[in-house]
């Protein structure tokens, strides 16, 4: 205890001596912060459209794959974007450019946005219409900022995050390129997802201000006595509106060499979280799943797996949980009460076999391999959900339209 007290005292001295601007930036005061990008308009107004996250690219009847283009010597020469029309059952080349683009396309109801990431060039957002025509470009540096949520009109971006930096954010207008401050609390660790009109955010609750020092011993002591709080956050102001739950920052597995919480998703008014921990560096990590009910009661669903537990969503709502034993192994599917729905063995000859999302009509979108002839893009298939759970093989693969 004396050692811990000394470490905490040293941390407090370090923080007050080295970061005077953060003296009052505790989790209680929630001070406003300036966005890293220079704002060109007033603070963000209320959002009028639905909020999307990265998984939204799999929620519609068209899926876009952004792949690096290579020449015969396997040199990187640009980017190819492929369009998978899930209803027509066809794949086609949608767009090509000589820019290097991130693999994550941002798909809205009326556009596809690509982010370039060339270190030696000015980076940008490329806006594409549904027919693959480039409509405009907006300057944007993905090395400096991260897109955490988006809508039909805006990107919501973060510059830095706790615990070793103060979080700040801005909202980027995808039509005009103008930015407005998005005043996230400086204690924000991440923006985990969207929940209706709100963002699900994660922040540090501590007696000490962020940023924490990068000294390993001091920061470990501070984090050991801190909490991870998940909130529903007002998308316009960036301020937490309601606490969902909180966990010890370092987890609850005493003696673990690794412990981490992650947000899985929501179903109705219930929120789901994954807790991973390993008791030694040689062991595989164990995953447990928790549900926070609408009455704020937290439940362990009884899932304890040494495999990575993932979320399967339908339009942003959690439908199943699943794990898979390697790329070709058994897929174990759980319902949202923790019961096993099925152990699915992939059909013979599959390179990979796992569900990605549930479409509007209830069909599953699956990845079943990679197309070596077309930039090693993912091979997608659609399948009835019951057929998948019953171990069937009546899926429809997307075929390439030359």
Around 256, how many Cα atoms within 13 Å sit in the side-chain half-sphere? 18
DSSP secondary structure letters along 133-184: -EEEEEE--TTT-EEEEE-SSEEEEEE--SSSS--EEEEEETTT--EEE---
Query: Tens digit of pLDDT for each residue in 203-246?
Result: 999 999 999 999 989 998 999 999 999 999 999 999 999 999 99
Query: Tens digit of pLDDT for each residue in 318-327?
Result: 999 999 998 7
Structure tokens that stand for 286 in this block? 């164990």
pTM of model > 0.95: no
For 96, other C-beta atoms within 10 Å of its C-beta total: 13
Q: Which of 56-65, 337-346, 349-358 has the highest mean pLDDT?
A: 337-346
Please list, in sequence order, all residues whose beta carbon lies within 8 angstroms of the beta carbon of residue 372, skipping any fewer than 6 positions away: none
Around 178, how many Cα atoms within 13 Å sit in the side-chain half-sphere? 9
The 3-state DSSP class for residue 122 equals coil
Beta bridge partners of 290: 273, 300
**Mean pLDDT computed over 390-402:** 92
Residue 32 reports pLDDT greater than 60: no
Closest C-alpha among 294, 335, 301, 339 to residue 318: 335
More confident residue, 252 or 240: 240
pLDDT band at 14 (very low <50, low <70, confident <90, very high): very low
Query: Tens digit of pLDDT for each residue in 142-169?
Result: 999 999 999 999 999 999 999 999 999 9
Which pLDDT score, from 0 to 100, does residue 44 have? 63
Beta bridge partners of 354: 367
Structure tokens that stand for 224 in this block? 């050991």
Residue 18 reports pLDDT greater than 80: no
Residue 329 reports pLDDT greater than 90: no
Query: Tens digit of pLDDT for each residue in 118-132?
Result: 877 789 999 999 999
Residue 26 reports pLDDT greater than 90: no
pLDDT band at 6 (very low <50, low <70, confident <90, very high): very low
Report the share of the chain in percent with pLDDT over 70. 89
Report the share of the chain in percent with pLDDT over 90. 73
Which pLDDT score, from 0 to 100, does residue 42 have? 59
Nearest-angstrom CA–CA distance, 108 and 155 = 11
């Amino acid at each position: 205890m004396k050692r811990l007290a000394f470490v905490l005292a040293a941390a407090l001295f370090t923080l007050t001596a080295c970061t005077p601007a953060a003296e009052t930036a505790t989790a209680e005061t929630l001070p406003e912060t300036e966005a890293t990008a220079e704002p060109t308009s007033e603070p963000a107004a209320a959002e009028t459209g639905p909020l999307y996250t990265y998984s939204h690219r799999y929620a519609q009847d068209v899926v876009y794959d952004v792949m690096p283009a290579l020449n015969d010597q396997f040199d990187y020469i640009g980017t190819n974007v492929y369009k998978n029309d899930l209803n027509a059952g066809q794949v086609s080349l949608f767009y090509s450019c000589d820019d290097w683009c991130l693999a994550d396309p941002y798909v809205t109801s009326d556009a596809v946005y690509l982010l370039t990431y060339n270190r030696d060039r000015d980076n940008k957002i490329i806006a594409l219409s549904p027919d693959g025509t480039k409509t405009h470009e907006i300057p944007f540096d993905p090395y400096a900022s991260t897109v955490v949520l988006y809508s039909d009109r805006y990107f919501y971006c973060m510059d830095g995050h706790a615990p070793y930096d103060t979080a700040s954010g801005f909202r980027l207008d995808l039509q005009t390129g103008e930015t407005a401050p998005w005043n996230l609390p400086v204690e924000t660790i991440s923006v985990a997802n969207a929940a209706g009109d709100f963002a699900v955010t994660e922040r540090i609750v501590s007696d000490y201000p962020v940023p924490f020092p990068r000294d390993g011993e001091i920061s470990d002591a501070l984090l050991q006595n801190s909490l991870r709080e998940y909130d529903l956050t007002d998308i316009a102001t960036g301020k937490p509106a309601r606490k969902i739950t909180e966990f010890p920052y370092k987890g609850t597995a005493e003696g673990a060499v690794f412990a981490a919480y992650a947000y899985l998703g929501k179903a109705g008014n219930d929120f789901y979280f994954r807790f991973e921990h390993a008791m030694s560096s040689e062991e595989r990590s164990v995953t447990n799943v928790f549900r926070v009910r609408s009455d704020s009661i937290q439940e362990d669903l009884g899932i304890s797996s040494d495999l990575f537990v993932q979320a399967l969503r339908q339009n942003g709502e959690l439908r199943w949980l699943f794990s898979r034993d390697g790329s070709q192994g058994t897929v174990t599917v759980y319902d949202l009460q923790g019961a096993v729905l099925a152990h699915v063995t992939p059909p013979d000859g599959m390179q990979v076999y796992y569900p990605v999302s549930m479409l509007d009509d209830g069909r599953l979108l699956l990845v079943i391999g990679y197309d070596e002839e077309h930039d090693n893009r993912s091979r997608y298939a659609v399948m009835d959900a019951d057929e998948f759970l019953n171990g069937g093989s009546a899926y429809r693969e997307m075929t390439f339209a030359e």
